[in-house]
Structure formats: structure tokens, C-alpha cells
């Protein structure tokens, strides 16, 4: 029913980094709380602005909450995200067939979003302050740590922010108190597919030396 956690002694960090793919097809099987705790511990080991640790992580298992958020997640795909996907071809490191499978996986996740056994909602408690662009540095490193920890434990996960297309409505569906702002939702479960190498294209296409557009010969 479930997969066996990976023996970390047989892996190094670079192996995990290079095979942490977005796993959008997840089994509804329960995930032990002990594994979620390990993921959360990895998250709270991350760097954050000023070491203020203003983050807050909501572990969501309540089906009613998940279904309420899914309404806005679905609406965001249909009205905003899908038209963008339709207007663009495959990204770097992909091709038509891979891109089609990616979009099919996105549709699957959208339809089954609420069935992921556990969500981790990554928030910042802003108190009376307004959110700022810099605040991402205080939450997204924790999100990445949690994705890597899930991968190391043999769990599938992915970073989703689409609910923020309808931020006020999604925040209300999540029942977040004033001052708490969600920055990502990580649906977590045992994956239906296999982990594999990520495809991101060539470094030379996205790296410059000293100035944008100036090639770095070591990458040629």
C-alpha cells in the first residue's frame, strides 16, 4: 500500500536535489505523522530573514478544508493558468510529449487535490505588518527543505501556489487568522509514479558571467 522510505546512507544530497521532481499523482494512503514531523523539522532548519522565524506551518488533514480550497484551486486553473499553458510551448529541458504529460499531471492534481492525505500550508505571521517582496526569503527556503525531506523519505510532494490567484477566498477557506498569510501549499503523499532526474535545460541558457548576456566559457 505504501513505499519504503529511502535509505539515506545510500544517497548524497546532490542525488536528492537532482531527483526531487514535482510529484502530482499521489496515493490517498495515510502518511505516518512521524514522517510529517521529520519534514517539518527539516523546514524549520532553513535560513530565514533575520532569524526571526515568523513562519507557521498548518498541517491540514480535514477534508472539508481541503475541498473548500480546491474550489479556488480549480477555478484558478480553468480561468487563469490553463490559458497561459495553452499559449506556451514546452519549457527548457522538455519536449511536446513531456509537456503534455506535465499538463495531464497538473489536471490530475487539480481534480484530486483534496485527496492528498496531508497538506502543509506554509505561512508567515505578519502581525500588523504588510507583506513585502523580501518576505519570500523567510519561507521558501523552508519550503524547499521540506520538499527535499519528503523526497528523502520516499514521499511525493510539490510546491503549489495557485490558490493565491484567489488569495482572499483561499485564505478564508483555510481559516487563517488575521496576520497569517499563506505562501505555499505542499500536498504530500506516497507517489503513484517513480522519482527521476529533473529536466531544466542547459546551464548556459540561464547563467551569465559578470553581466546578463555575457557567456561563461566554462559552460560552453
Domain borders along the chain are 9-194+202-219
Whole-number percent of the chain with pLDDT over 70: 95
Q: Average pLDDT in the 44-58 region? A: 91
Distance CA 196, CA 39 (A): 20
Q: Does residue 218 register a pLDDT over 60? A: yes
Q: Does residue 8 register a pLDDT over 60? A: no
- Choice between 127 and 63, residue whose per-residue pLDDT is larger: 63
Highest mean pLDDT among 17-21, 70-74, 194-198: 70-74
Q: Does residue 10 register a pLDDT over 80? A: no
Q: Average pLDDT in the 175-181 region? A: 95
Distance of CA 190 to the CA centre of its chain: 15
Q: What is the pLDDT of residue 179?
A: 94
Q: What is the pLDDT of residue 1?
A: 47
Rounded to 5 degrees, what angle do the CA atoms 186, 183, 140 make? 80
CATH number of 9-194+202-219: 3.40.109.10
Rg of the chain (C-alpha set): 18
How many other CB atoms sit within 10 Å of the CB of residue 76?
20
Distance CA 112, CA 77 (A): 13
> What would the DSSP string read from start to end of 75-144?
HHIIIIIHHHHHHS---TT--HHHHHHHHHHHHHHHHHGGGSSEEEEEEEE-TTSPP-GGGGGGTHHHHH
Looking at every residue in the chain, the average pLDDT score rounds to 91
CB 200 within 8 A of CB 13: no
**Terminal Cα distance for the chain, rounded:** 46
Distance of CA 164 to the CA centre of its chain: 13
Phi, psi of 163 (to 5 degrees): -60, -20
Q: What is the pLDDT of residue 11?
A: 59
Q: Does residue 169 register a pLDDT over 50? A: yes
- Choice between 208 and 133, residue whose per-residue pLDDT is larger: 208
Rounded to 5 degrees, what angle do the CA atoms 138, 136, 164 make? 130
Q: What is the pLDDT of residue 102?
A: 87
Q: Average pLDDT in the 101-126 region? A: 95
Distance of CA 101 to the CA centre of its chain: 18
Q: Which of 4-8, 49-53, 212-216 has the lowest mean pLDDT?
A: 4-8
Q: What is the pLDDT of residue 5?
A: 52
**CA distances for 47 relative to 14, 53, 124, 127, 185, angstroms:** 19, 9, 14, 20, 19
Amino acid at each position: 500500500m505504501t513505499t519504503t522510505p529511502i535509505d539515506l546512507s545510500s544517497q548524497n544530497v546532490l542525488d536528492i536535489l537532482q531527483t526531487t521532481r514535482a510529484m502530482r499523482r499521489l496515493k490517498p494512503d495515510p502518511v505516518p505523522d512521524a514522517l510529517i514531523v521529520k519534514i517539518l523539522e527539516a523546514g524549520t532548519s532553513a535560513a530565514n530573514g533575520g532569524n526571526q522565524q515568523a513562519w507557521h506551518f498548518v498541517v491540514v488533514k480535514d477534508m472539508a478544508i481541503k475541498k473548500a480550497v480546491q474550489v479556488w484551486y480549480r477555478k484558478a486553473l480553468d480561468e487563469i493558468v490553463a490559458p497561459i499553458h495553452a499559449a506556451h510551448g514546452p519549457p527548457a529541458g522538455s519536449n511536446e510529449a513531456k509537456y503534455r504529460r506535465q499538463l495531464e499531471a497538473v489536471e490530475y492534481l487539480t481534480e484530486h487535490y483534496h485527496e492528498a492525505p496531508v497538506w502543509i500550508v506554509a505561512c508567515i505571521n505578519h502581525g500588523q505588518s504588510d507583506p513585502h517582496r523580501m518576505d519570500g526569503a523567510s519561507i521558501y527556503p523552508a519550503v524547499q527543505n521540506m520538499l527535499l525531506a519528503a523526497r528523502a523519505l520516499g514521499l511525493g510532494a510539490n510546491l503549489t501556489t495557485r490558490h493565491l490567484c484567489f488569495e482572499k477566498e483561499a485564505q478564508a477557506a483555510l481559516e487563517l487568522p488575521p496576520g497569517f498569510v499563506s505562501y505555499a501549499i505542499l500536498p504530500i503523499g506516497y507517489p503513484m509514479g517513480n522519482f527521476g532526474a529533473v529536466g531544466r535545460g542547459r546551464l548556459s541558457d540561464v547563467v551569465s558571467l559578470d553581466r546578463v548576456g555575457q557567456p561563461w566559457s566554462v559552460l560552453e
